Amino acid sequence: MLIRHATLDDLDALSTMENACFPPQDAADQEKLAARIEAYPDHFWLLINTDPDKQGVSFPARVEEGPLVSFINGPASQDPDITDPMFSDVSMHDERGAWQMILGIDTAPVYQHHGCGGYLLRRVILDSALNGRKGIVLVCREKLVKFYHEFGFMDEKISPSTRSNTTWHQMRLLLNMDEQSAVEQFGDDAPEALELAHDSISRAMRETTQYIDREEAVTGRIPVLSRR
Provide the CATH number for the domain formed by 2-226 in this structure: 3.40.630.30
DSSP assignment of 141-176 equals -GGGHHHHHTTTPEEEEE-S--GGG---EEEEEE-S
d(CA 32, CA 224): 35
Measured in residues, the chain has a length of 228
Residue 211 three-state SS = coil
H-helix or E-strand spanning residue 16: helix 11-21
Alpha carbons 210 and 224: distance in angstroms, whole number: 20
Cα–Cα distance, 44 to 63 (Å, whole number): 14
Q: List, for residues 98-151, the tens digit of each pLDDT value.
A: 999 999 999 998 888 888 899 999 999 999 999 999 999 999 999 999 999 999
Domain ranges of the chain: 2-226
Q: What is the pLDDT of residue 169?
A: 95
Given phi > 0 = left and psi -120 to 50 = alpha, else beta, which region is 60?
alpha
Report which DSSP code applies to 93: -
- Packing angle of the helix pair 11-21, 30-39 (nearest 10 deg): 130
Per residue in 28-80, pLDDT (tens digit) is: 999 999 999 999 999 999 999 887 666 555 667 889 998 999 999 999 999 99
pLDDT above 70 (res 210):
no
* Rounded mean pLDDT, 200-212: 73
Q: What is the pTM of this model?
A: 0.87
